[in-house]
Amino acid sequence: MSMTRRPCLEKITPYQPGKPIEEVKREMGLQDVVKMASNENPLGPSPLALEAIKEHLPRINYYPDGSCYYLKKALAKHLSLKENSIIVGNGADELITLVSAAYLNPGEEIIMAHPSFSEYEFAAQLMDARTVRIDCQDFRHDLEAMAAAVNDHTKLIMICNPNNPTGTIITHEELEDFLKKLPRDILVVIDEAYFEYVTDPSYPRSLELLAHGYNILILRTFSKVYGLAGLRIGYGLAREDVIADLNTVRAPFNVNSVAQVAARAALLDQEHVQAVLALNNLGREFLSREFERMGLFYLPTEANFFFVEVKVDAKEVFSRLLSRGIIIRVGNIFGFPQFIRLSIATEEQNARFIKVLEEILKEMRST
């Protein structure tokens, strides 16, 4: 007897992750490979997190604490919030699927920007819900058009801020004006995976908006500035009733114990965070200057990645960079076939990337 798949599975476009370093080494026969594809932290995790992991390892025979008690306590203190306004997930990714599982019925709608993070659409597709994509204006969320797209089927609105892949932000004022226009039964998910990197003072103070009672869910992660992407841990902040709904659809042991102790130690090491940000700022300045020198259009970024127009086939640029040991992302996955997205790396890696990119563009333009 054959199994019948749910029809909505036909519509699902699987997430295309950045190529792993080991795979590229294997496939290309290279030793020295740099990954600038998944906006990871080139400095690595805090030494305190590594120490906490080592200390915890002999106890991994026990199931993790399903409530993430100590991590939530540390987050609550760090953010001056109550613990019951916090949920911890297996990466922010898991929280995106939990929010869909909690709120979306088949045929209902989410609204998101285009281009933006594709996991929102994936999570909606899992629940057989529809995604309404609203084109960005000048590479920024078009909040007016997003508000105008609201109808009786709208359940969730996804705001990626800073936006992946553009690195652009919407401001506090813009976000608050937008929230004021919306019916309160729509949950606005504000994905702040990169918020620590932002330097623009007009960036939203989203915790303040939460305290004002707006129906928002703020998503954050330990994958980026805290350098724990491999452990899969992120968190969400919302009203108590929203957190309770998300907990209802969460698996009992969704966050492993190693991730919990590492995240807690990483959170307490804000000195390491400052070192990560300083390195990112250096890279941001260097790469901006280099793109300008090369005459390439790029978006000034508030995050740890750039979206750059190469004016030639991005897939070809990707292949040529790969054959020289540099992994980036093509803009094609976001609907921009002449753009690439690259993560800011170490000073040495950034310089190597620019040197190789320049060679490749020269080769491609001369053929």
122 versus 298: smaller Cβ distance to ligand PLP: 122
Among 43-51, 64-72, 85-93, 325-333, which window interacts with ligand PLP (CB under 6 A)? 85-93
Can you read off the two tokens belonging to residue 6? 């749910």
Residue that is written with structure tokens 């491999």 in the block: 230
Q: Which of 134, 193, 231, 360 binds ligand PLP (CB under 6 A)?
A: 193
Among 74-82, 86-94, 107-115, 239-247, which window interacts with ligand PLP (CB under 6 A)? 86-94
Among 89-97, 196-204, 254-262, 336-344, which window interacts with ligand PLP (CB under 6 A)? 89-97
Among 87-95, 97-105, 276-284, 338-346, which window interacts with ligand PLP (CB under 6 A)? 87-95
Distance of closest approach, residue 234 Cβ to ligand PLP, in angstroms? 3
Q: Which of 108, 121, 191, 269 binds ligand PLP (CB under 6 A)?
A: 191
Side chain identity at residue 360, one-letter code: I
By CB under 6 A, residue 100 contacts ligand PLP: no
Determine the Cα–Cα distance for residues 318 and 331; give it in Å rounded to an integer: 10
Determine the Cα–Cα distance for residues 279 and 300; give it in Å rounded to an integer: 17
**Dihedral angle of Cα 6, 7, 13, 17, to the nearest 10 degrees:** 10
By CB under 6 A, residue 221 contacts ligand PLP: yes
By CB under 6 A, residue 45 contacts ligand PLP: no
By CB under 6 A, residue 93 contacts ligand PLP: yes
Q: Which of 52, 53, 87, 92 binds ligand PLP (CB under 6 A)?
A: 92
Residue nearest to ligand PLP (CB): 91
Residues 6 or more apart whose CB falls under 8 angstroms from that of 272 comprise 43, 45, 46, 47, 48, 266
By CB under 6 A, residue 234 contacts ligand PLP: yes
Residues 6 or more apart whose CB falls under 8 angstroms from that of 165 comprise 115, 116, 305, 307, 329, 331, 334, 339, 341
By CB under 6 A, residue 156 contacts ligand PLP: no
Secondary structure of residue 281 in the 3-state scheme: helix
By CB under 6 A, residue 260 contacts ligand PLP: no
Can you read off the two tokens belonging to residue 311? 């004016």
**Dihedral angle of Cα 246, 248, 254, 260, to the nearest 10 degrees:** 60
Distance of closest approach, residue 90 Cβ to ligand PLP, in angstroms? 8
Residue that is written with structure tokens 């996804």 in the block: 158
* CB burial of residue 239 (10 Å; 0-12, 13-18, 19+): middle
Q: How many CA atoms lie within 13 A of 208 on its CB side?
A: 7
By CB under 6 A, residue 68 contacts ligand PLP: no
Determine the Cα–Cα distance for residues 192 and 84; give it in Å rounded to an integer: 19
By CB under 6 A, residue 52 contacts ligand PLP: no
Residues in contact with ligand PLP by the rule CB under 6 A:
39, 91-93, 117, 160, 164, 191, 193, 221, 223, 229, 234
